[in-house]
Amino acid sequence: MTSRETSIEIPLEELRQQRSAKWTAYPPDVIPAWIAQMDFRTAEPIKTALQEIVSQEDFGYPRREGQQPAVVLAQAFSEWMDKRFGWSADPALAVPVSDLAQAKFAAILAFSDPGDGIALQTPCYPPMLEAIRETGRRFIDNPLVDAGEGVTLDIDGLARAIDPGTRMILLCNPHNPTGRVFEEQELEALVALARRHDLVIVSDEIHQDLVYPGRRHMPLAALSAEAAKRTVTITSPAKSFNIPGLRCGVMHFGSQELKDRFHRRIPRRLLGQPGIAGMDAAITAWREGEPWLSQVLARLTEARAQFEAAVGTALPAVRWHAPEATYFAWLDCRDARLPTSAGDFFLKEARVAFSPGESFSPGYRDFVRVNFATSTAILQEIIARMGQALLRFAR
Amino acid sequence: MTSRETSIEIPLEELRQQRSAKWTAYPPDVIPAWIAQMDFRTAEPIKTALQEIVSQEDFGYPRREGQQPAVVLAQAFSEWMDKRFGWSADPALAVPVSDLAQAKFAAILAFSDPGDGIALQTPCYPPMLEAIRETGRRFIDNPLVDAGEGVTLDIDGLARAIDPGTRMILLCNPHNPTGRVFEEQELEALVALARRHDLVIVSDEIHQDLVYPGRRHMPLAALSAEAAKRTVTITSPAKSFNIPGLRCGVMHFGSQELKDRFHRRIPRRLLGQPGIAGMDAAITAWREGEPWLSQVLARLTEARAQFEAAVGTALPAVRWHAPEATYFAWLDCRDARLPTSAGDFFLKEARVAFSPGESFSPGYRDFVRVNFATSTAILQEIIARMGQALLRFAR
């Protein structure tokens, strides 16, 4: 490990002092590796931007570069998309949001009515399903398929599942919890299907920046004009830059028509707006955060390799497909034949807290989602505790 | 002026360095006294709370006192209402919002349909009217009346204006821009009318804390059980504590039934949530901000007296009713027979920027709203510039 990587890691004793949900939800003998938050120091430019707000007491009605901060935010979003993915996202079609749960609720309410069908790949990040259920929409399950090489979109299954009352596809790409980065070919097939049935696609791309070497994230709206005009891209620097508590994200509409349709039901001011701390952090992340992100990606790549080495050796009964993106290990523990759900087992027997598989879909109680965005030492301890618990149980 | 008061005033040269809309919208020879932002230093406890977030890099998924910050925010809101107004507001009926524009849009969309009538007292804070118009509701004008003693609610006029399609009254109390604190008797009459026609009242009470000696703010929902059950109180520490850029407020429903009705149309997560900086600032303001608020009220009382002394002497053609609340002077300049709107006149001839009367209602072009929440020196300069311009014009 080089000193460059070391510098972002936060030692355990310091993490234990955090006020965050991640580090306060469990007793101190438990190592938390559940919620999507990294145990890394914040990018210096972000910290500096926030320090400036506080030292200047810049808490009034803000302006940035002579404009509303929301305008600068949209510009910074567009610059980042172009720089990282070669996507020319029109800043005029971007709307700030507090978080992506808000964005999902807003899109569902704007583009569908109660009883309408919304397709979603499972397993899925729990708030996606909640957004469908709480708004009284109909959940159309489109399970991901795993033919042994990692999960893929089941386009044929989706074609069969779509009915005349279906209005929308909720996509998560890169995919949480599996870490898949869908291929352009899969996305094209999805868009073709959406076109045939005139569906809107809401594409949650919050993990866009956390992609490992060898794979490349393709923003859905950048795929084709046909994709753009029916795609609402929702994203945020909250995951990549580890600032979810500041609450700032973006909804981008692939066409003016789509945005107009949205605002016919959801007036802009109904969404409120992010506070200046969230806006400045997001703007700074997108404009000055790249060097820090490279450090994080280097550490995550290393952490993924650390896990890879453990699977099959220290964790013989655990299977996985190494994630192509995200800092999640989606672990298949079916071979271990555990007495309880895998999440419960590891919490009780290994004192490590993961996100239980069943929270992503009822059929996944033998799975856990492990957040490996932590220091080498902590990840080592997590793997050791898992291995010991599995060994004790196997005896 | 005592040193106690001096300590909150920010000198002109420092204000000129601000990045805020207030201090950047006009050329440097203009003194800005328009948007609702005070030229005072922030309460120390708020600044400290924000410094802690930054120094601890507490940007992850936050917890406060072992709970969601929104729960603590609702509790702090309830404590403040009880302490200041003797109102026992149920924290379980409070929902966090980003700002009160969001709260108004949400309430209008929840409790009315396009084409429905919404009554509003004019002159009014411009976003109130915009919320009615942008949502396609019908604006029912209920002008305040001024029989010489300050404006009052025109209950009879409202009774005549309400039609079978009327669903809501948007109230602003204390009133912006006039600075009236409505009497309990006026509020009771309003509630009786609302009861007769089964109307919801959305009561914007953001200026609740900025009330001058001799008057007392009565939260509408605290008036009676009948008032409570149809009242949505919307408020925030943003005005009193001068932190609008951090974006945090509260919608409080006077009954569980009203809240349930609201959420049938507006799911909680559609509103997003304030960032942790806004939440912590609001919680701290309500729990630890009272000593600072006393200092501010002392300075505002003094500033109001400073203005009072000028009206009729340095500003002979200007009439006003000294505000009972808010830091606004709502100036009637009709006697001056100005060649343009009063706002344009003072901007051009006195190089002072006020909120033009016509932005509060078309009939008020001879009025301006002056924000007097500034230092003694700056307010003196504002009054001097106004006096000189009026004198030059009168010649």
The pLDDT value recorded for residue B312 is 80
Cα of B18 to nearest chain A Cα, Å: 7
- Report how far residue A278's alpha carbon sits from residue A284's, in angstroms, rounded to the nearest whole number: 10
Q: Which residue has the tokens 């002979």?
A: B316
Q: Is B98 in contact with A275 (Cβ distance < 8 A)?
A: yes
**Per-residue pLDDT reduced to its tens digit, A323-348:** 999 999 999 999 999 999 999 999 99
The vertex-A48 CA angle with A46 and A51, nearest 5°, equals 110
Which residues of chain B does A133 touch, with a Cβ-Cβ cutoff of 8 Å? none
Residue positions counted in chain B: 395
**Per-residue pLDDT reduced to its tens digit, A61-110:** 999 999 999 999 999 999 999 999 999 999 999 999 999 999 999 999 99
- Closest of B278, B277, B58 to residue A23, by C-alpha: B58
Q: Is B246 in contact with A276 (Cβ distance < 8 A)?
A: yes
Q: How many CA atoms lie within 13 A of A248 on its CB side?
A: 32
DSSP A198: T
- Give, in order, the Cα–Cα distances in Å from B25 to each of A101, B42, B351, B352: 34, 21, 13, 12
- The neighbour count for residue B66, using CB atoms within 10 Å, is 11
The pLDDT value recorded for residue B21 is 98
The vertex-B373 CA angle with B369 and B378, nearest 5°, equals 95
The pLDDT value recorded for residue A2 is 45
Residues 84 through 123 of chain A touching chain B, CB cutoff 8 Å: 97-99, 101-102, 104-106, 109
- Give, in order, the Cα–Cα distances in Å from A276 to each of A62, B96, B275: 7, 17, 9
**Per-residue pLDDT reduced to its tens digit, B176-225:** 999 999 999 999 999 999 999 999 999 999 999 999 999 999 999 999 99
Q: Is B19 in contact with A56 (Cβ distance < 8 A)?
A: yes
Give the one of B35, B58, B102 whose C-beta lies nearest to A19's C-beta: B58
Residue positions counted in chain A: 395
- Give, in order, the Cα–Cα distances in Å from A40 to each of A219, A279, A351: 26, 21, 22
**Per-residue pLDDT reduced to its tens digit, B321-342:** 999 999 999 999 999 999 999 9
Q: Is A275 in contact with B20 (Cβ distance < 8 A)?
A: no
The vertex-B237 CA angle with B141 and B377, nearest 5°, equals 90
Whether residue A394 is predicted with pLDDT greater than 90 in this model: the reply is no
- Closest of B353, B381, B363 to residue B35, by C-alpha: B353
Q: Is B275 in contact with A51 (Cβ distance < 8 A)?
A: no
A41 touches chain B (CB under 8 A): yes
**Upstream peptide bond of B267 is cis (omega within 30 degrees of 0):** no
Q: Which residue has the tokens 């952490």?
A: A303
The pLDDT value recorded for residue A208 is 98
Q: Is A276 in contact with B247 (Cβ distance < 8 A)?
A: yes
DSSP B315: B
**Per-residue pLDDT reduced to its tens digit, A10-27:** 999 999 999 999 999 999
- B394 pLDDT band, cuts 50/70/90, is confident
Structure tokens at A279: 């806006």
Chain A residue whose CA is closest to B239:
A60
Chain Cα centroid distance, residue B71:
24
B271 touches chain A (CB under 8 A): yes
Whether residue A1 is predicted with pLDDT greater than 70 in this model: the reply is no
List of residues 6+ apart from A60 with CB closer than 8 A: B18, B20, B21, B22, B37, B242, B243, B244, B245
Amino acid type, A339: P
Give the one of A41, A42, A272 whose C-beta lies nearest to B98's C-beta: A272
Whether residue A4 is predicted with pLDDT greater than 70 in this model: the reply is no
ipTM above 0.95, yes or no: yes
Whether residue B2 is predicted with pLDDT greater than 80 in this model: the reply is no
A371 touches chain B (CB under 8 A): no
By three-state DSSP, how is residue B368 classified? Answer: strand
Structure tokens at A103: 């964005």
Structure tokens at B229: 């059950």
- B3 pLDDT band, cuts 50/70/90, is very low
- Report how far residue A125's alpha carbon sits from residue A234's, in angstroms, rounded to the nearest whole number: 14
CB distance A304 to A322 below 8 Å = yes
* % pLDDT > 70, chain A: 98
Which residues of chain A does B269 touch, with a Cβ-Cβ cutoff of 8 Å? 101-102, 104-105, 127, 131, 134
Give the one of B64, B104, B271 whose C-beta lies nearest to A102's C-beta: B271
Q: Is B272 in contact with A50 (Cβ distance < 8 A)?
A: no
Chain A residue whose CA is closest to B240:
A60
CB distance B21 to B35 below 8 Å = yes
Cα of B234 to nearest chain A Cα, Å: 14
**Per-residue pLDDT reduced to its tens digit, B83-96:** 999 999 999 999 99
- Mean pLDDT across the stretch A114-139? 97
Give the one of B35, B57, B99 whose C-beta lies nearest to A273's C-beta: B99
- B1 pLDDT band, cuts 50/70/90, is very low
- Mean pLDDT across the stretch A229-244? 98
Give the one of A54, A127, A270 whose C-beta lies nearest to B50's C-beta: A54
All structural domains of chain B, each given as residue ranges with its CATH number in brackets, are 3-42+290-394 (3.90.1150.10), 49-288 (3.40.640.10)
The pLDDT value recorded for residue B102 is 98
Whether residue A58 is predicted with pLDDT greater than 90 in this model: the reply is yes
DSSP string of B373-391, one letter each residue? -S-HHHHHHHHHHHHHHHH
Chain B residue whose CA is closest to A64:
B19
- Mean pLDDT across the stretch B46-53? 98
Chain Cα centroid distance, residue A271:
21
- Report how far residue B256's alpha carbon sits from residue B233's, in angstroms, rounded to the nearest whole number: 13
The vertex-A382 CA angle with A387 and A31, nearest 5°, equals 130
Structure tokens at A347: 């919490």
